[in-house]
Amino acid sequence: MAVLGLLFSWTDLLAQKTLKEAYKDYFPVGVAVAPRNLSGPEAELIKQQFISITPENAMKMGPIHPEENRYNWQDADAIVEFGQKNGILVRGHTLCWHSQVPNWFFTNSSGQQVTREELLGRLKQHITDVMTRYKGKIYAWDVVNEAVPDTGKSIYRQSKFYQIIGEEYIQKAFEYAHAIDPQAKLFYNDYNTESAAKREKIYQLVKKLKDKNVPIHGVGLQGHWSIYEPTQQELEKSIRQFADLGLAVQVTELDVSVYPKEHERRARKDTDQSIYTDEMMQKQSAHYKMLFDTFRKYKGTVTGVTFWNVSDRSSWLDNFPVSNRKDYPLLFDQHYQPKKAFEGVVNF
Ligand code: 9MR
Protein backbone atom coordinates (compact mmCIF):
# COMPACT_ATOMS: atom_id res chain seq x y z
CA MET A 1 0.00 0.00 0.00
CA ALA A 2 2.77 2.39 0.96
CA VAL A 3 4.43 1.71 -2.38
CA LEU A 4 1.16 2.32 -4.18
CA GLY A 5 0.70 5.57 -2.26
CA LEU A 6 4.13 6.67 -3.36
CA LEU A 7 3.34 5.76 -6.94
CA PHE A 8 0.15 7.76 -6.85
CA SER A 9 1.85 10.79 -5.41
CA TRP A 10 4.49 10.56 -8.14
CA THR A 11 1.92 10.37 -10.89
CA ASP A 12 0.14 13.33 -9.31
CA LEU A 13 3.33 15.30 -9.45
CA LEU A 14 4.05 14.29 -12.99
CA ALA A 15 0.57 15.36 -14.00
CA GLN A 16 1.10 18.81 -12.51
CA LYS A 17 1.68 21.75 -14.73
CA THR A 18 5.10 23.35 -14.54
CA LEU A 19 5.44 26.97 -13.46
CA LYS A 20 6.22 28.07 -16.97
CA GLU A 21 3.21 26.22 -18.41
CA ALA A 22 0.85 27.52 -15.76
CA TYR A 23 1.97 31.13 -16.21
CA LYS A 24 2.52 31.28 -19.95
CA ASP A 25 -0.42 33.67 -20.43
CA TYR A 26 0.52 35.80 -17.42
CA PHE A 27 4.22 36.63 -16.92
CA PRO A 28 7.61 34.92 -17.03
CA VAL A 29 8.43 33.05 -13.83
CA GLY A 30 12.13 33.19 -13.09
CA VAL A 31 14.81 32.19 -10.61
CA ALA A 32 18.06 33.66 -9.29
CA VAL A 33 21.09 31.58 -10.18
CA ALA A 34 24.80 31.17 -9.58
CA PRO A 35 27.03 29.34 -12.10
CA ARG A 36 26.98 26.27 -9.83
CA ASN A 37 23.22 25.91 -10.47
CA LEU A 38 23.76 25.55 -14.22
CA SER A 39 24.71 21.88 -14.29
CA GLY A 40 23.28 18.72 -12.71
CA PRO A 41 19.80 18.34 -11.21
CA GLU A 42 19.34 22.07 -10.54
CA ALA A 43 19.93 22.90 -14.18
CA GLU A 44 17.31 20.31 -15.15
CA LEU A 45 14.82 21.77 -12.71
CA ILE A 46 15.51 25.29 -13.98
CA LYS A 47 14.99 24.26 -17.61
CA GLN A 48 11.84 22.37 -16.73
CA GLN A 49 10.16 25.05 -14.62
CA PHE A 50 11.49 28.53 -15.32
CA ILE A 51 11.50 30.84 -18.30
CA SER A 52 13.74 33.56 -16.86
CA ILE A 53 16.94 33.70 -14.81
CA THR A 54 18.66 36.45 -12.80
CA PRO A 55 22.31 36.26 -11.73
CA GLU A 56 22.17 36.20 -7.92
CA ASN A 57 25.58 37.89 -7.56
CA ALA A 58 27.57 37.64 -10.79
CA MET A 59 26.61 41.03 -12.28
CA LYS A 60 26.90 43.14 -9.14
CA MET A 61 29.51 45.90 -9.16
CA GLY A 62 32.03 44.13 -6.91
CA PRO A 63 31.99 40.68 -8.49
CA ILE A 64 31.94 41.89 -12.11
CA HIS A 65 34.19 44.97 -11.81
CA PRO A 66 36.68 44.27 -9.01
CA GLU A 67 39.30 46.79 -10.19
CA GLU A 68 39.00 49.94 -12.24
CA ASN A 69 40.46 48.44 -15.38
CA ARG A 70 39.49 44.83 -14.86
CA TYR A 71 36.18 43.10 -15.39
CA ASN A 72 35.44 39.56 -14.33
CA TRP A 73 33.02 38.42 -17.02
CA GLN A 74 33.27 34.69 -16.56
CA ASP A 75 30.31 33.99 -14.26
CA ALA A 76 27.99 36.51 -15.88
CA ASP A 77 28.87 35.20 -19.34
CA ALA A 78 28.11 31.63 -18.25
CA ILE A 79 24.67 32.65 -17.00
CA VAL A 80 23.79 34.65 -20.11
CA GLU A 81 25.01 31.80 -22.32
CA PHE A 82 22.86 29.29 -20.40
CA GLY A 83 19.87 31.54 -20.96
CA GLN A 84 20.55 31.95 -24.66
CA LYS A 85 21.16 28.25 -25.22
CA ASN A 86 17.95 27.22 -23.49
CA GLY A 87 15.61 29.95 -24.65
CA ILE A 88 15.44 31.44 -21.16
CA LEU A 89 15.15 35.20 -20.61
CA VAL A 90 17.79 36.97 -18.53
CA ARG A 91 17.12 39.79 -16.04
CA GLY A 92 20.15 41.88 -15.14
CA HIS A 93 20.92 42.55 -11.46
CA THR A 94 22.14 45.15 -10.62
CA LEU A 95 23.91 48.20 -12.09
CA CYS A 96 24.12 50.42 -9.02
CA TRP A 97 23.86 49.31 -5.38
CA HIS A 98 25.45 50.66 -2.21
CA SER A 99 26.32 47.12 -1.15
CA GLN A 100 28.92 44.91 -2.82
CA VAL A 101 30.59 47.97 -4.42
CA PRO A 102 34.38 47.63 -4.60
CA ASN A 103 36.28 50.28 -2.63
CA TRP A 104 38.19 51.48 -5.69
CA PHE A 105 34.98 52.99 -6.99
CA PHE A 106 35.08 55.80 -4.45
CA THR A 107 38.84 56.37 -4.27
CA ASN A 108 41.07 58.11 -6.81
CA SER A 109 44.69 57.27 -7.68
CA SER A 110 46.06 59.47 -4.89
CA GLY A 111 43.96 57.65 -2.32
CA GLN A 112 41.43 60.42 -1.86
CA GLN A 113 37.71 60.29 -2.19
CA VAL A 114 36.60 60.83 -5.78
CA THR A 115 34.85 64.03 -6.78
CA ARG A 116 31.25 64.15 -7.91
CA GLU A 117 32.33 64.31 -11.56
CA GLU A 118 34.77 61.43 -11.18
CA LEU A 119 32.15 59.24 -9.55
CA LEU A 120 29.57 60.02 -12.24
CA GLY A 121 32.22 59.17 -14.82
CA ARG A 122 32.90 55.82 -13.17
CA LEU A 123 29.23 55.01 -12.88
CA LYS A 124 28.73 55.84 -16.54
CA GLN A 125 31.71 53.75 -17.60
CA HIS A 126 30.57 50.80 -15.52
CA ILE A 127 27.00 50.84 -16.80
CA THR A 128 28.19 51.34 -20.37
CA ASP A 129 30.66 48.46 -20.30
CA VAL A 130 28.34 45.96 -18.63
CA MET A 131 25.27 46.81 -20.68
CA THR A 132 27.17 46.92 -23.96
CA ARG A 133 28.51 43.43 -23.41
CA TYR A 134 25.03 41.98 -22.90
CA LYS A 135 23.07 44.31 -25.13
CA GLY A 136 20.06 42.55 -26.63
CA LYS A 137 20.56 39.52 -24.36
CA ILE A 138 19.14 41.00 -21.17
CA TYR A 139 15.52 42.04 -21.42
CA ALA A 140 15.26 43.95 -18.13
CA TRP A 141 17.73 45.50 -15.69
CA ASP A 142 17.57 46.44 -12.02
CA VAL A 143 19.28 49.76 -12.57
CA VAL A 144 19.32 51.13 -9.03
CA ASN A 145 18.88 48.85 -6.05
CA GLU A 146 17.80 49.74 -2.50
CA ALA A 147 18.36 53.51 -2.57
CA VAL A 148 15.71 54.10 0.09
CA PRO A 149 16.32 53.52 3.83
CA ASP A 150 13.90 51.51 6.01
CA THR A 151 13.74 54.11 8.75
CA GLY A 152 14.14 57.85 9.23
CA LYS A 153 12.65 60.75 7.33
CA SER A 154 14.93 60.95 4.33
CA ILE A 155 13.80 59.41 1.05
CA TYR A 156 17.40 58.61 0.22
CA ARG A 157 19.76 56.17 1.84
CA GLN A 158 22.97 57.89 2.96
CA SER A 159 25.13 55.82 0.63
CA LYS A 160 28.43 56.97 -0.85
CA PHE A 161 26.68 57.49 -4.18
CA TYR A 162 24.22 59.80 -2.48
CA GLN A 163 26.79 61.58 -0.35
CA ILE A 164 29.15 62.27 -3.23
CA ILE A 165 26.72 62.85 -6.11
CA GLY A 166 23.40 63.70 -4.47
CA GLU A 167 20.02 62.26 -5.47
CA GLU A 168 20.85 62.84 -9.14
CA TYR A 169 22.91 59.65 -9.23
CA ILE A 170 19.68 57.71 -9.61
CA GLN A 171 18.44 59.68 -12.59
CA LYS A 172 21.89 59.50 -14.19
CA ALA A 173 22.10 55.74 -13.81
CA PHE A 174 18.78 55.33 -15.66
CA GLU A 175 19.87 57.73 -18.39
CA TYR A 176 23.21 55.98 -18.91
CA ALA A 177 21.46 52.62 -19.07
CA HIS A 178 18.79 53.73 -21.52
CA ALA A 179 21.39 55.29 -23.82
CA ILE A 180 23.15 51.94 -24.16
CA ASP A 181 20.15 49.66 -24.65
CA PRO A 182 16.91 51.53 -25.39
CA GLN A 183 15.06 48.21 -25.66
CA ALA A 184 15.84 47.07 -22.13
CA LYS A 185 13.18 47.55 -19.47
CA LEU A 186 14.66 49.53 -16.61
CA PHE A 187 13.65 48.98 -12.98
CA TYR A 188 14.09 50.57 -9.60
CA ASN A 189 14.33 47.63 -7.18
CA ASP A 190 13.83 47.50 -3.40
CA TYR A 191 12.71 45.35 -0.43
CA ASN A 192 10.19 45.98 2.37
CA THR A 193 8.03 47.71 -0.22
CA GLU A 194 4.81 46.89 1.66
CA SER A 195 5.80 48.86 4.74
CA ALA A 196 3.58 51.95 4.53
CA ALA A 197 6.40 54.42 5.22
CA LYS A 198 8.89 52.84 2.86
CA ARG A 199 6.33 52.37 0.07
CA GLU A 200 5.57 56.08 0.27
CA LYS A 201 9.24 57.05 0.02
CA ILE A 202 9.80 54.76 -2.95
CA TYR A 203 6.69 56.21 -4.53
CA GLN A 204 8.10 59.73 -4.09
CA LEU A 205 11.42 58.67 -5.55
CA VAL A 206 9.99 57.08 -8.69
CA LYS A 207 7.37 59.79 -9.12
CA LYS A 208 10.12 62.40 -9.26
CA LEU A 209 11.85 60.35 -11.95
CA LYS A 210 8.64 59.99 -13.95
CA ASP A 211 7.88 63.70 -13.63
CA LYS A 212 11.29 64.44 -15.11
CA ASN A 213 10.76 61.95 -17.93
CA VAL A 214 13.64 59.81 -16.77
CA PRO A 215 13.58 56.46 -18.65
CA ILE A 216 12.27 54.19 -15.88
CA HIS A 217 9.82 51.44 -16.83
CA GLY A 218 9.06 49.64 -13.63
CA VAL A 219 9.45 48.99 -9.94
CA GLY A 220 10.85 45.74 -8.59
CA LEU A 221 9.22 44.56 -5.40
CA GLN A 222 11.93 42.23 -4.19
CA GLY A 223 9.41 40.08 -2.33
CA HIS A 224 11.60 38.86 0.55
CA TRP A 225 8.50 38.06 2.55
CA SER A 226 7.52 35.57 5.23
CA ILE A 227 4.52 33.47 6.18
CA TYR A 228 3.40 36.48 8.28
CA GLU A 229 3.63 39.22 5.65
CA PRO A 230 2.56 41.01 3.56
CA THR A 231 -1.24 40.98 3.67
CA GLN A 232 -3.04 40.86 0.34
CA GLN A 233 -4.23 44.39 0.95
CA GLU A 234 -0.70 45.71 1.52
CA LEU A 235 0.57 43.96 -1.59
CA GLU A 236 -2.26 45.26 -3.75
CA LYS A 237 -1.64 48.77 -2.48
CA SER A 238 1.99 48.61 -3.63
CA ILE A 239 1.09 47.20 -7.04
CA ARG A 240 -1.66 49.75 -7.62
CA GLN A 241 0.29 52.73 -6.42
CA PHE A 242 3.19 52.07 -8.80
CA ALA A 243 0.86 51.12 -11.64
CA ASP A 244 -0.84 54.49 -11.19
CA LEU A 245 2.42 56.10 -12.29
CA GLY A 246 2.30 54.08 -15.49
CA LEU A 247 4.99 51.72 -14.26
CA ALA A 248 5.21 47.95 -14.59
CA VAL A 249 5.73 45.90 -11.44
CA GLN A 250 7.95 42.84 -11.21
CA VAL A 251 8.46 40.68 -8.16
CA THR A 252 12.20 40.29 -8.47
CA GLU A 253 13.48 38.26 -5.50
CA LEU A 254 10.61 36.20 -4.14
CA ASP A 255 10.88 33.93 -1.11
CA VAL A 256 8.57 33.25 1.82
CA SER A 257 10.57 32.67 5.00
CA VAL A 258 9.00 30.45 7.65
CA TYR A 259 10.28 32.82 10.37
CA PRO A 260 9.14 36.35 11.22
CA LYS A 261 10.80 38.83 8.83
CA GLU A 262 13.90 40.72 9.98
CA HIS A 263 15.89 43.01 7.72
CA GLU A 264 19.06 43.33 9.81
CA ARG A 265 21.66 40.67 10.48
CA ARG A 266 21.88 39.65 14.17
CA ALA A 267 23.49 37.12 16.48
CA ARG A 268 21.85 33.74 16.83
CA LYS A 269 19.84 33.19 20.02
CA ASP A 270 19.13 29.87 21.78
CA THR A 271 15.51 30.17 20.69
CA ASP A 272 16.49 30.29 16.99
CA GLN A 273 15.78 26.69 16.03
CA SER A 274 15.82 25.44 12.46
CA ILE A 275 12.33 24.05 12.23
CA TYR A 276 9.73 23.47 9.55
CA THR A 277 6.53 22.39 11.25
CA ASP A 278 3.40 21.17 9.54
CA GLU A 279 1.72 24.37 10.60
CA MET A 280 4.44 26.49 8.95
CA MET A 281 4.13 24.40 5.81
CA GLN A 282 0.35 24.94 5.67
CA LYS A 283 0.68 28.64 6.35
CA GLN A 284 3.35 28.94 3.67
CA SER A 285 1.17 27.15 1.12
CA ALA A 286 -1.75 29.47 1.82
CA HIS A 287 0.54 32.48 1.63
CA TYR A 288 2.04 31.47 -1.71
CA LYS A 289 -1.44 30.86 -3.08
CA MET A 290 -2.56 34.33 -1.98
CA LEU A 291 0.55 35.91 -3.50
CA PHE A 292 0.13 34.28 -6.90
CA ASP A 293 -3.65 34.84 -6.92
CA THR A 294 -2.80 38.52 -6.45
CA PHE A 295 -0.07 38.58 -9.10
CA ARG A 296 -2.50 37.05 -11.62
CA LYS A 297 -5.18 39.53 -10.68
CA TYR A 298 -2.81 42.25 -11.88
CA LYS A 299 -1.92 40.56 -15.15
CA GLY A 300 -0.56 43.22 -17.47
CA THR A 301 0.86 45.27 -14.60
CA VAL A 302 2.81 42.42 -13.03
CA THR A 303 5.22 41.54 -15.84
CA GLY A 304 7.52 39.07 -14.11
CA VAL A 305 7.99 37.06 -10.91
CA THR A 306 11.43 35.74 -9.97
CA PHE A 307 12.28 33.42 -7.06
CA TRP A 308 15.47 34.15 -5.13
CA ASN A 309 17.21 30.73 -5.28
CA VAL A 310 16.20 27.37 -6.70
CA SER A 311 15.20 25.09 -3.82
CA ASP A 312 15.22 24.70 -0.04
CA ARG A 313 18.47 22.73 -0.37
CA SER A 314 20.25 26.05 -0.08
CA SER A 315 19.16 29.66 -0.01
CA TRP A 316 20.62 32.94 1.22
CA LEU A 317 18.11 32.77 4.10
CA ASP A 318 20.04 29.82 5.60
CA ASN A 319 22.50 32.48 6.71
CA PHE A 320 20.35 35.56 7.10
CA PRO A 321 19.35 37.24 9.40
CA VAL A 322 21.09 34.64 11.60
CA SER A 323 23.84 32.44 10.33
CA ASN A 324 23.20 28.73 10.33
CA ARG A 325 19.46 28.81 10.89
CA LYS A 326 17.99 26.81 8.06
CA ASP A 327 15.00 28.31 6.28
CA TYR A 328 12.51 26.66 3.91
CA PRO A 329 11.37 29.56 1.76
CA LEU A 330 10.92 28.16 -1.76
CA LEU A 331 8.54 26.00 -3.82
CA PHE A 332 10.95 23.06 -4.18
CA ASP A 333 12.21 21.02 -1.23
CA GLN A 334 15.73 19.90 -0.37
CA HIS A 335 15.39 17.04 -2.89
CA TYR A 336 14.15 19.38 -5.64
CA GLN A 337 10.60 18.02 -5.35
CA PRO A 338 7.63 20.41 -5.54
CA LYS A 339 6.23 21.24 -2.11
CA LYS A 340 2.58 21.56 -1.17
CA ALA A 341 2.84 25.30 -1.82
CA PHE A 342 3.64 24.52 -5.46
CA GLU A 343 0.18 23.01 -6.01
CA GLY A 344 -1.61 26.18 -4.97
CA VAL A 345 0.59 28.21 -7.30
CA VAL A 346 0.08 26.14 -10.47
CA ASN A 347 -3.55 25.04 -10.00
CA PHE A 348 -6.01 27.83 -10.53
O1 9MR B 1 21.47 36.34 -2.40
C2 9MR B 1 22.56 37.24 -2.38
C3 9MR B 1 23.65 36.69 -1.49
O4 9MR B 1 24.21 35.52 -2.04
C5 9MR B 1 24.73 37.74 -1.28
O6 9MR B 1 25.66 37.27 -0.33
C7 9MR B 1 24.11 39.04 -0.83
C8 9MR B 1 25.18 40.09 -0.70
O9 9MR B 1 24.73 41.22 -0.17
O10 9MR B 1 23.14 39.47 -1.76
C11 9MR B 1 22.08 38.58 -1.87
O12 9MR B 1 21.11 39.10 -2.78
C13 9MR B 1 20.49 40.32 -2.40
C14 9MR B 1 20.11 41.04 -3.66
O15 9MR B 1 21.24 41.21 -4.48
C16 9MR B 1 19.49 42.38 -3.37
N17 9MR B 1 18.37 42.24 -2.48
C18 9MR B 1 18.60 41.47 -1.27
C19 9MR B 1 19.20 40.11 -1.62
C20 9MR B 1 19.36 39.27 -0.37
O21 9MR B 1 20.30 39.87 0.49
Write down the domain spans for the chain. 16-257+273-346
Q: Is the CB of 100 under 6 A from ligand 1?
A: yes
> Which of these ranges, 14-18, 36-40, 72-76, 117-121, has the smallest mean pLDDT?
14-18
> For position 12, what pLDDT does the model report?
55
Q: Which atom of ligand 1 is nearest the CA belonging to 32?
A: 1
Cβ–ligand 1 contact at 192 (below 6 Å): no
Mean pLDDT taken over the chain: 96
Please say if the pLDDT value at position 5 is more than 60: no
Q: 211 CA to middle of ligand 1, Å? A: 30
Query: Is the shortest distance between the CB of 57 and ligand 1 below 6 Å?
Result: yes
Q: Give the nearest ligand 1 atom to 93 CA.
A: 15
- Contact assessment for residue 131 and residue 95, using Cβ atoms and an 8 Å cutoff: yes
The yes-or-no verdict on residue 289 having pLDDT over 80 is: yes
Cα–Cα distance measured from residue 312 to residue 310, given in angstroms and rounded to the nearest whole number: 7
Q: Indicate whether 10 pLDDT > 60.
A: no
**Which CATH number does the domain 16-257+273-346 belong to among 3.40.50.10800, 3.20.20.80, 3.30.1330.30, 2.60.60.20?**
3.20.20.80
CA of 101 to the centre of ligand 1 (A): 13
Mention every residue, 6+ apart, whose C-beta is less than 8 A from residue 153. Answer: none
Average pLDDT over residues 124-132: 98
Residue whose CA lies nearest to ligand 1 atom number 4: 316
Between the CA of 89 and the centroid of ligand 1 the distance, in Å, is 20
pLDDT of amino acid 202: 98
Over range 296-317, report the average pLDDT. Answer: 98
* Range 321-331 average pLDDT: 97
pLDDT in tens, 137-191: 999 999 999 999 999 999 999 999 999 999 999 999 999 999 999 999 999 999 9
Confidence of residue 1 (pLDDT cuts 50, 70, 90): very low
CA distances from 121 to 114, 146, 172, 208, 214 (A): 10, 21, 10, 23, 19
| Residue identifier of the C-alpha nearest atom 16 of ligand 1 | 145
Catalytic residue among 44, 146, 236, 262: 146
14 band by pLDDT with thresholds 50, 70 and 90: low
**Predicted pLDDT of residue 2:** 47
Q: Average of pLDDT values for 276-288? A: 98
Query: What pLDDT is attached to residue 290?
Result: 98
On the question of pLDDT at 23 being above 70, the answer is: yes
Mean local confidence (pLDDT), 212-228:
98
How many separate helices (H) and strands (E) can be counted in the chain?
Answer: 12, 9
Q: Rounded mean pLDDT of 90-111? A: 95
Q: Is the dihedral of CA 11, 12, 15, 17 positive or negative?
A: negative
pLDDT at residue 13 in the model: 55
146 is catalytic: yes
For 307-319, the pLDDT digits (tens) are 999 999 999 999 9
Q: Is 84 in the pocket of ligand 1 (CB under 6 A)?
A: no
Q: Residues 188, 246, 263, 286: is their CA dihedral positive or negative?
A: negative
pLDDT value, residue 16: 86
Report d(CA 126, CA 284) in Å as an integer: 40
For residue 265, the CA-to-ligand 1 centroid distance in Å is 12
pLDDT digits (tens, 9 = 90+) for 50-70: 999 999 999 999 999 999 999
Return the residue whose CA atom lies nearest to atom 12 of ligand 1. Answer: 56
Give the pLDDT confidence score for residue 236 in this predicted structure.
98
Q: From CA 322, how far away is CA 260, in angstroms rounded?
A: 12
Note if 253 is an active site residue: yes
Indicate which residue of 253, 262, 264, 279 is catalytic. Answer: 253
Question: Ligand 1 mean position to 56 CA, how many Å?
Answer: 7
